[in-house]
Amino acid sequence: MTDAEINAAIDRQIERNVLFYAEHPDEIALRLRALDAEWDIERALQANAAALGLAGSLLALTRGGGWLAVPAVVGGFLLQHATQGWCPPLPVMRRMGFRTAREIDVERNALKALRGDYAEVPKSGDSAARARAALQAARSGPFAGPAA
């Protein structure tokens, strides 16, 4: 489980991002492309585990069997994550700024709502109110679809 303080900091950053783009709607498309390229924490965890497992295996082959402890520990962490949804590297990675796929999707959907893709968000008015409405729409679940 991630520390509530870290989750709150990530939520505040998402809110700041959405507010910024509510004030700069011409830059939303660029941010959406960046979000499409952002690695979520699951992908980062898998890539990190694969790299450490491979490195430990190669070191075991070239430097001695003691290095087999590295892929064993990494495998144990992955098994723990698969069965419990948590493992020791996760809090460190969250502190580094890795977000869940859901957090990335909230920002993505809020920006799409600001852009006018969804009918739930007003297309004019105070940017802070529009940002709050976009975040509310993004967090409340699936959208009805593109605005008519």
Write out pLDDT tens, residues 61-114. 999 999 999 999 999 999 999 999 999 999 999 999 999 999 999 999 999 989
CA 43/CA 40 separation, integer angstroms? 6
6 touches 95 (CB < 8 A)? yes
Q: How far apart are CA 109 and CA 141, in angstroms?
A: 10
List the chain domain ranges. 1-38+103-148, 40-98
Which pTM does this prediction carry? 0.82
pLDDT digits 0-9 by tens, 19-43: 999 999 999 999 999 999 999 999 9
